[in-house]
Amino acid sequence: MANETNVPSITNGFHLMVDALKLNDLETIYGVAGIPVTDLARLAQANGIRYIGFRHEQSAGNAAAIAGYLTRKPGICLTVSAPGFLNGMVALANATTNGFPMIQISGSSDRATVDLQQGDYEELDQMNAAKPFTKASYRVERPEDIGIGLARAIRAALSGRPGGVYLDVPASVLGATLDAETATRSLVRVVDAAPRQLPAQESVHRALEVLAKAERPLIILGKGAAYAQADADIRAFIEETGIPFLPMSMAKGLLPDDHPQSAAAARSYALAQADVVMLIGARLNWLLGHGKSPQWSATTQFVQLDIAATEIDSNRAIAAPVVGDIASSVSALLATLEPGQIRPQAAWLKELVQRKQHNIDRMASHLAANPDPMDFYSALGAIKGVLADKPEIYVVNEGANALDITRNVIDMRLPRKRLDSGTWGVMGIGMGYAIGAAVVSGKPVVAIEGDSAFGFSGMEIETICRYHLPIVTVIFNNGGIYRGDDVNRNGGADPAPTVLMKDARYEMLSEAFGGVGYHAVSPQELAKALDDALASGKPALINCAIDPTAGTESGHIGNLNPQSSIAQQK
């Protein structure tokens, strides 16, 4: 019979890539099809990999990045050459900045032509272009290297501080054939891609000694702590020591926001007054005022748990670094901690409770006010009520006021449920993160979006409807970036730079693709729409009319705008 001859069976780069992904349990691809990866997407789907096709690579990349964060497996984004590659790069760079494991696999054009700049279709030296924005950037030049190339990408994405990795696959490699036996032998299943990194025991002792001397200690939890999935040990350490904690935005819910030791509602007081601060998977970057005045005291001492040794002393001297993976470090701290060794002063805890109560009361009055038109607080009060008994729901959040006020109002009670603009404060993550979270979890997602923020990924509403994902998008429509009431300083007919269309009917975008649309002008309408939308489990969009004068310039970070000593012209 024909198949009993000596002719070896043949395979090609397309099949090898699919086999390599499957061998490493990478079972979802987020991408946009086109030359030269269309058949790769088809073949992946045919072989049981879930393929989610987007309208723009940036959203595909954002979905992959957040999938990586949630699952601790690199999220895979597939892009076409040059422009598609570059569209995805914003998401890959953002993943690197945030420490999310992700691999962008991109097709690329003919090497010989690209390197001589002879003008190929979609010509770009992608591997080198990607380098400054990634943890690692590799190119596979022979089909028999696909297996090892993917293995290197997985290891680079997951080990140490996770990040974005670029893997370049020229069209010729995808199409190249090789015999099936060589191909099979070339595949690599990665073993222990994120090995534990144990902290030195002396660093653990040093950290506990510094904490033991503290009168006003504070623990800051960052998204590195959330990523580490050491939830029970982190909680045990906090509860056994009695140290108050402050979650960074994506660490909200690691311990419930209504936990009695949460100092979130007394944030600025806690930062300014703490004498010892323990950072667990949080960087002393701009989000923490670089650990410097005016937010911080010059005498505060720091303990820092991080996997990246170079993070230590990055902005301020760290008295007790504990370098290791957070799960190992926290468990070593717990094992070494002696009963009663760490005791925050009673006066400190009492002062925090009083400050908290004051701010909670102030917030309650904001939430209860019922202005017409709605402001951010009254809208969020309605959403808070609906989400109160649904802790399993993911909350995706971006915007300026829409971001800052939501972060303060909406409590999280489970870890890794809040996904937001992150370290860069980037706009455009909304629909991609929502899709990624819904795909990996099968759980509902509520995306709370500024009207400007939404626009960056708004076309993915079609993607959400096409895949029937349980995502409810709430648009805080205040008619602009920060506010909707600015005026053209030259008196002309063009709108001001920050102004968007206030009367835009965003809900019709959902209806256009078979989703449900709501227009809410009161907290009651908003609460009912959100309740109904979540009960239906279907894609929906709620266009929420917010007072155009309700926001403040740049939200809570107006201080970062450049200040000129020369008076503004008009």
**Residue of closest CB approach to ligand ADP:** 224
Contact, 66 vs 75, CB < 8 A? Answer: yes
Q: Which of 248, 447, 481, 546 contacts ligand ADP by CB under 6 A?
A: 248
- Check binding of 282 to ligand ADP (CB under 6 A): yes
Segment contacting ligand ADP by CB under 6 A, of 201-209, 307-315, 346-354, 395-403: 307-315
* Site map (CB under 6 A) of ligand ADP, residues 160-189, x = contact: -x----------------------------
555 binds, among ligand ADP, ligand TZD, Mg ion, none (CB under 5 to 8 A by kind): ligand TZD
223 binds, among ligand TZD, Mg ion, ligand ADP, none (CB under 5 to 8 A by kind): ligand ADP
By CB under 6 A, the count of residues binding ligand ADP is 23
Place of tokens 């078979």: 514
Locate 223 and state its tokens. Answer: 């998204």
Contacts of 364 (CB under 8 A, 6+ apart): none
CB of 382 to ligand TZD, least distance (A): 16
- Check binding of 144 to Mg ion (CB under 5 A): no
CA distance 483 to 401: 9
Residue with Cβ nearer ligand ADP (310 or 563): 310
CB of 223 to ligand ADP, least distance (A): 4
Contact, 102 vs 65, CB < 8 A? Answer: yes
Angle formed by the axes of helices 201-212 and 326-336, nearest 10° = 60
Give the residue among 210, 172, 183 at the shortest CA–CA distance from 322: 210
427 binds, among Mg ion, ligand TZD, ligand ADP, none (CB under 5 to 8 A by kind): ligand TZD
Segment contacting ligand ADP by CB under 6 A, of 111-119, 219-227, 427-435, 466-474: 219-227
400 binds, among ligand TZD, Mg ion, ligand ADP, none (CB under 5 to 8 A by kind): ligand TZD
The backbone torsions φ and ψ at residue 209, rounded to the nearest 5 degrees and listed phi first, read: -65, -40
325 binds, among ligand TZD, ligand ADP, Mg ion, none (CB under 5 to 8 A by kind): ligand ADP
Alpha-carbon torsion, ordered 54, 55, 57, 62, to 10 deg: -60
- Check binding of 281 to ligand ADP (CB under 6 A): yes
CA distance 415 to 249: 11
**Residue of closest CB approach to ligand TZD:** 450
Q: What are the CA-CA distances from residue 532 to residues 264, 370, 525, 527 (Å)?
A: 31, 22, 11, 9
CA distance 421 to 402: 11
For the chain, the 3-state helix, strand and coil shares in percent, each to the nearest 5, are 45, 15, 40
CB of 309 to ligand ADP, least distance (A): 10
Contact, 317 vs 271, CB < 8 A? Answer: no
Binders of Mg ion among residues 461 to 500 (CB under 5 A) are 478
Q: How far is CA 334 from the centre of its chain?
A: 29
CB of 252 to ligand ADP, least distance (A): 10
Contact, 472 vs 533, CB < 8 A? Answer: yes
Residue with Cβ nearer ligand ADP (64 or 520): 64
Q: Greatest CA separation found in the chain?
A: 89
By CB under 5 A, the count of residues binding Mg ion is 4
Segment contacting ligand TZD by CB under 6 A, of 75-83, 123-131, 154-162, 396-404: 396-404
- Check binding of 400 to ligand TZD (CB under 6 A): yes
CB of 377 to ligand ADP, least distance (A): 24
CA distance 544 to 529: 10
CB of 399 to ligand ADP, least distance (A): 17
- Check binding of 287 to ligand ADP (CB under 6 A): yes
Segment contacting ligand TZD by CB under 6 A, of 15-23, 147-155, 214-222, 421-429: 421-429
Contact, 73 vs 124, CB < 8 A? Answer: no
* Site map (CB under 6 A) of ligand ADP, residues 403-432, x = contact: --------------------x---------
- Check binding of 222 to ligand ADP (CB under 6 A): yes
Burial of 546 (0-12, 13-18, 19+ CB in 10 A): buried
State whether residue 30 is helix, strand or coil: strand
CA distance 87 to 83: 6
Give the residue among 161, 127, 180, 157 at the shortest CA–CA distance from 19: 180
58 binds, among ligand ADP, ligand TZD, Mg ion, none (CB under 5 to 8 A by kind): none
Look at the chain and count its residues: 570
- Check binding of 283 to ligand ADP (CB under 6 A): yes
Q: Which of 451, 460, 462, 507 contacts Mg ion by CB under 5 A?
A: 451
Contacts of 7 (CB under 8 A, 6+ apart): none
CB of 323 to ligand ADP, least distance (A): 9
Binders of ligand TZD among residues 437 to 496 (CB under 6 A) are 450-453, 476, 478, 480-482
- Check binding of 401 to ligand TZD (CB under 6 A): yes
Alpha-carbon torsion, ordered 396, 432, 522, 524, to 10 deg: -60
- Check binding of 144 to ligand ADP (CB under 6 A): no
Binders of ligand TZD among residues 336 to 375 (CB under 6 A) are none
The backbone torsions φ and ψ at residue 459, rounded to the nearest 5 degrees and listed phi first, read: -65, -15
CB of 410 to ligand TZD, least distance (A): 14
Please report, in angstroms and rounded to a whole number, the separation of the first and last CA atoms in the chain.
87
Residue with Cβ nearer ligand TZD (175 or 558): 558
Binders of Mg ion among residues 64 to 123 (CB under 5 A) are none
| E strand residue ranges, 161-251 | 164-170, 177-179, 217-221, 245-247
- Check binding of 267 to ligand ADP (CB under 6 A): no
Locate 512 and state its tokens. Answer: 């256009």
Binding site for ligand ADP (CB under 6 A): 98-99, 161, 222-224, 227-228, 248, 250-251, 281-283, 285, 287, 306-308, 311, 325-326, 423
Binding site for ligand TZD (CB under 6 A): 399-402, 425-428, 450-453, 476, 478, 480-482, 551, 555
